[in-house]
């Protein structure tokens, strides 16, 4: 277990360094921190997702299936095999990830967990392919569980909820969130590009509350360069 904790800590440290430099041009050709496979509500197999990630030339990514790390684990095994068979080739860094439902200001939001130790017991309730209930459903407990597993917690698509991001981001910051998904394409444009107004507003709030900015396509379809 100590080895796994050390690996998670190193992975988290690396991810913090990446998050410090994320901007509107980071996704979807350099990094992508929000995507789904057939192991939640996506259409891509983990192997197909990784093939695309390598073809695109991604430097790093996270698979964020809902309440599941099955797709991530299969993708990680596939990537290790690919590296073994392609020595010397450039490969993306794959962080652990999951998208978790939580209650914040009496509405349901989604919290993205990154770079956490997948074996840590604090994460077990949130990786059962379904949303939790009771105390485990509260945002501050979700965030605390992610931190206990040496991970980072990010508020997904903050301008997509029934309450304003001007309310939600300060509340999430007060509960210990590490970052916000600043650069997000709310109207599914083709080609993918972050929504200018919302991204500027979220980025300003992130600066005010000392939060990381992240980006992701929230891919559910067959292309990592689109949401649907």
pLDDT at 9: 86
Residues in the chain: 228
Confidence grade of residue 1 (pLDDT, cut at 50, 70, 90):
very low
pLDDT at 81: 98
Q: Does residue 27 register a pLDDT over 70?
A: yes
Q: Show the tokens assigned to 81.
A: 């095999």
Confidence grade of residue 93 (pLDDT, cut at 50, 70, 90):
very high
Q: Compute the distance between CA of residue 200 and CA of residue 85 in angstroms, rounded to an integer.
A: 43
Read off the DSSP letter of residue 136: G
Q: Compute the distance between CA of residue 109 and CA of residue 126 in angstroms, rounded to an integer.
A: 14
Q: Compute the distance between CA of residue 182 and CA of residue 203 in angstroms, rounded to an integer.
A: 6
Each residue's pLDDT tens digit, 135-173: 999 999 999 999 999 999 999 999 999 999 999 999 999
Residues 6+ apart with CB under 8 A from 148: 120, 122
Tell me the chain's radius of gyration from C-alpha atoms: 16
Q: Show the tokens assigned to 121.
A: 């017991």
Residue 183 and residue 199 in contact, taking contact as beta carbons nearer than 8 Å: yes
Domain segments of the chain as ranges: 2-215
Give the CATH H-level superfamily of domain 2-215: Metal-dependent hydrolases (3.20.20.140)
Q: Does residue 3 register a pLDDT over 90?
A: no
Each residue's pLDDT tens digit, 171-203: 999 999 999 999 999 999 999 999 999 999 999
Read off the DSSP letter of residue 70: H
Each residue's pLDDT tens digit, 97-139: 999 999 999 999 999 999 999 999 999 999 999 999 999 999 9
Residue 117 and residue 130 in contact, taking contact as beta carbons nearer than 8 Å: no
């Amino acid at each position: 277990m100590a080895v796994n904790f050390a690996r998670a800590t190193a992975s988290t440290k690396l991810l913090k360094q990446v998050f410090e430099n994320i901007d509107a041009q980071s996704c979807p050709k350099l990094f992508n921190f929000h995507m789904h496979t057939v192991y939640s509500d996506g259409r891509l197999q983990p192997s197909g997702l990784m093939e695309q990630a390598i073809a695109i030339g991604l430097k790093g990514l996270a698979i964020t299936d809902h309440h599941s790390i099955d797709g991530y684990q299969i993708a990680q095994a596939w990537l290790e095999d690919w590296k073994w068979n392609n020595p010397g080739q450039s490969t993306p860094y794959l962080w652990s990830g999951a998208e978790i439902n939580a209650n914040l200001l009496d509405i349901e939001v989604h919290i993205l967990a990154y770079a956490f130790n997948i074996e840590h017991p604090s994460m077990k309730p949130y990786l059962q392919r379904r949303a939790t209930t009771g105390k485990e459903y509260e945002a501050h407990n979700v965030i605390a569980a992610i931190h206990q597993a040496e991970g980072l917690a990010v508020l997904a698509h903050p301008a997509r909820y029934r309450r304003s991001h001007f309310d939600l981001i300060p509340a999430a910051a007060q509960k210990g969130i590490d970052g916000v998904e600043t650069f997000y394409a709310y109207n599914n444009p083709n080609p993918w590009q972050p929504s200018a107004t919302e991204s500027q507003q979220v980025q300003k709030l992130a600066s005010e509350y000392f939060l990381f900015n992240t980006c992701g396509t929230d891919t559910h379809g067959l292309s990592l360069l689109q949401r649907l």
